[in-house]
Amino acid sequence: MTTAVVLVLLLAITAYAVFGGADFGAGLWDLAAGGADRGSRPRAVIEHGIGPVWEANHVWLIFVLVITWTAFPEAFASITLTMFVPLTLAALGIVLRGAGFAFRKAVVTTRYRRIFGGAFAISSVLVPYCLGAVGGGILSGRVPAGGRAGDPVDSWVNPSSIAVGLLGVALVAYLAAAYLVRVAGAASEAGMVRYFRVRALAAGAVGVALAVVALVVLSSDAPYVFGELTSRALPVVVVAALAAGASLTLLARDVLHGVRVLAALTVAATVVAWGVAQWPYLLPTSLTFSAAAAPSGTLAALLLATVLAAVLVVPGFALLYVLDQRGDLEEEGVPDIADTIEPVTPPPARARPAD
């Protein structure tokens, strides 16, 4: 039963990385788009791409937190007590990111659009880095077992956390650019297709380089996870590498069909490889999943709730994404103020009386 819960948890983390990660990466490209004039077209594509679905993707994160808290309370206590700084920064970033994105689409003046846009874009980089730093601290064994707090600084400011955090930012940037290539293509924006294709290639190349750096760092800083990545999890690592190589090759040849799927597969396989490598430990190498698990009755109730959620919620998510891909969802926000003012026709001039 514990294994089933772990599989559900890994699936939820993977879903958040693939769907939520694309949203965070879009915010990074929003930050790099430039000034109001030069960045207007890229930002329009970004808003069109993530506008209808960005709020829904955080449901996966809530699901991950609930599963961990309910099924593995001891580990949840240790992680939150130790990682309260990056987790707080991530939570604050998610709130500011959502508020910035929503209010930027609702205000009409350039000044306030820049303020809210900056909050959205900067938070989109902060959140994946902090979540990656938390993951790096966990896999390198810096979170103690027993519901105790570890070092609040070294736990997330260390070689593994920095390497995994930077890799996370690069992966979401690559994933978002690959998604936005399709969004631009569906809108017949040839210039924006080239724009995001170049950025997908750049982010993918940086991601490959950072993946190599992360492996080097883990070899000395997280020897257990590194050993499993190069043995038990190696087939999944190979899948991630092949998917990344294939997507970058297609992008370099300007063949865009299948790039989005391969980019999502790259990110998903990377997350799964981490999960396989860390098994059977929740906190390497001090606490296993079985030792941290809640009583069997709690796990059974949790699995039942998961099945009900899958039956009741997943169809709604599927419908949302299908409607979004078909372009049947309305855009959020308000039109530009210049478009809301109707021209006023002056009254006809009155004839002057004759002298």
Structure confidence by residue, pLDDT tens digits, 66-107: 999 999 999 999 999 999 999 999 999 888 887 877 777 777
Q: What domains sit in the chain, N to C, each tagged with a CATH number? A: 1-275 (1.20.1630)
Average pLDDT (306-318) is: 82
Question: Residue 343: pLDDT above 70?
Answer: no
The secondary structure element, H or E, covering residue 92 is helix 84-104
Handedness of CA 313, 316, 322, 323 (dihedral sign): negative
* Rounded-to-integer distance, Cα 238 and Cα 230, Å: 10
Yes or no: say if 243 and 262 are a contact pair by the CB < 8 Å rule.
yes
Average pLDDT value for the chain = 85
Tokens read off for 259: 């790039």
Q: What angle do CA 231, 16, 211 make, to 5 degrees?
A: 40
Query: What does the pLDDT look like over 144-186, one tens digit per residue?
Result: 998 888 999 999 999 999 999 999 999 999 999 998 888 888 7
Least confident of 39-48, 90-99, 213-222, 287-296: 39-48
To the nearest 10°, report the CA torsion of 9, 10, 15, 16: 70
User: Which of the pair, 241 or 333, is modelled with greater confidence?
Assistant: 241
Residue labelled with tokens 């020897």: 223
Q: What angle do CA 41, 327, 96 make, to 5 degrees?
A: 60
* Region label for 151, one of left (φ > 0), alpha (ψ between -120 and 50) or beta (otherwise): beta
**What local confidence, expressed as pLDDT, does residue 106 receive?**
74
* Rounded-to-integer distance, Cα 194 and Cα 102, Å: 28
Q: Would you place residue 339 in the very low, low, confident or very high pLDDT band (cuts 50, 70, 90)?
A: very low
Average pLDDT (32-54) is: 75
Q: Would you place residue 333 in the very low, low, confident or very high pLDDT band (cuts 50, 70, 90)?
A: very low
What is the DSSP code string of 61-76?
Answer: HHHHHHHHHHH-HHHH
pTM over 0.75: yes
